[in-house]
Amino acid sequence: MRKRLMFMLVLLTVLLAACSGDDENKIQFWTPLTGDDGAYMDKLVEEYNATEPEIEVNHVITSDMYTKMYTVLNSGNGIPDLSIIHADRIASFVEQGLLEPMTDIMEAQPNLNADNYIPQAWTAGEVDGTQYTIPLDIHGSAMYYNEDLMKKYGVEHWLDDDVVTFDEMLSLQGQLEEGDYVLNDALIGWVVLAQLQNLGGDIQEDGKPVIDTPEMREAFQAIKDLSDAGIMTPYGEDGYLMFQSGNVMFSTDGTWSSTGHAQVEDLNFGVTNIYSFEPSIFHNRSSAHLFAMLTKEERTDEKEAGIADFLEFIRENSIEWAEAGQIVASVDVIESPEYENYMQSFFTSNQAEEESLYIYTYEHYPYVAEAIDTYVGDLIHGEIDMDEGFADMQRFVEDKVDEGALDMENTELLDEDELEEELSDE
């Protein structure tokens, strides 16, 4: 089994090298944008290439992108010139020496600087005073509301301060018509992390990941109380679709979901912040798509200049990216009148909203998020005991750290003799 896996990694390396190559006339640009957002990025790249730059950009959408990145980095072949990676990967990649600083890129295009981007997006790519990324967007939790249902139950005033509270939602317990619900459990793991920030908690202590904390337990219990009250969509039901069907008042999905909701006929909806304990303290768990350069000795000065030109084009022209439902990171774009036409502009409408966009950059955050997403449904819907669930989550994270699942050194490759042997076995 191990040999088969190693063989597939070698084959993958060969295929990636063949399709991405080291063409000096192309900037090979990898992204994990496998959904509709990939098409929007394709259009941006096409528009840039239409300006007839000295070096064009070739956009390659790669599923399982991080696995493939480790594979090509280990082999040294087929490494892309430019990539989009998520904010929560930066610390780990820098720790392993897998990213090159953006220093030369920023020198080539001076407008690629902190003043021209949303602060949270810019600082997400900064490690020990060095800038390793240029931001594209922020994307995160959002709470959509059904205007008709809010009017039906006479709670439009809940939105006066742009924050719906636990107590307000619980006040509808026992007052809903059959088939109606106050909220769903969409992206509920992200909601948990938003509440953790509302409570002043953290996911690490002295550099080690920690889940079983008083603040985390309080966050889980508060959300479980909503489920226990019967105002949350039933476990196993698709609360996202139930919102689109008009039976759910609040849907806690993502900023990008506005495009899907807008396609539903007769769905009168708006967007606000994720619910909180009190109106004065609220957070929206977020992440960011960031442009980054994997460590690559063969990247020429000419390609770096081309990358700088491309990123400056994106900074000035990424209103197209707003079509994908993302919070564009460029200040020039979000301050333009056109951007106000997009629902996610709510989250940059004032300083308090921008500050609510909390991006986790802790090295082991991916493990913490995976543990929460794995157990949160069973916990908030009462399928497993809280003590048992928290012990399992803490153990899950610690095991992941011990395994070093994100460590490139664990990605082994066969040498030529082993490859020949594997092929003969097949």
Taking residue 418's Cβ as centre, other Cβ atoms within 10 Å add up to: 15
Question: In this predicted structure, which of 18-27, 106-115, 230-239, 367-376 has the lowest mean pLDDT?
Answer: 18-27
The predicted model gives 396-415 an average pLDDT of: 63
Q: What is the pTM of this model?
A: 0.88
Q: How far apart are CA 219 and CA 266, in angstroms?
A: 34
- Model confidence at 417, pLDDT cuts 50, 70, 90, reads very low
pLDDT digits (tens, 9 = 90+) for 356-403: 999 999 999 999 999 999 999 999 999 999 999 999 999 999 999 998
Question: For the chain, what is the mean pLDDT?
Answer: 91
Dihedral angle, C-alpha 354, 380, 35, 56, nearest 10 °: 50
Q: Does 410 score more than 70 pLDDT?
A: no
Q: How far apart are CA 191 and CA 376, in angstroms?
A: 10
Q: How far apart are CA 423 and CA 417, in angstroms?
A: 10
What is the model's pLDDT at position 3?
A: 44
Residues of the chain with CATH 3.40.190.10: 2-139+287-354, 143-285+364-403
Is CATH 1.20.1250.20 correct for 143-285+364-403?
Answer: no
User: What sign results for the dihedral spanned by CA atoms 44, 49, 54, 59?
Assistant: positive
Residues with Cβ < 8 Å from 301, sequence gap 6 or more? none
Facing residues of 100 across strands?
A: 293
Is CATH 3.40.190.10 correct for 2-139+287-354?
Answer: yes
pLDDT digits (tens, 9 = 90+) for 176-204: 999 999 999 999 999 999 999 999 999 99
What is the model's pLDDT at position 241?
A: 98
How far, in Å, are 139, 228, 242, 249, 403 from residue 188 at the CA level? 15, 15, 15, 16, 27
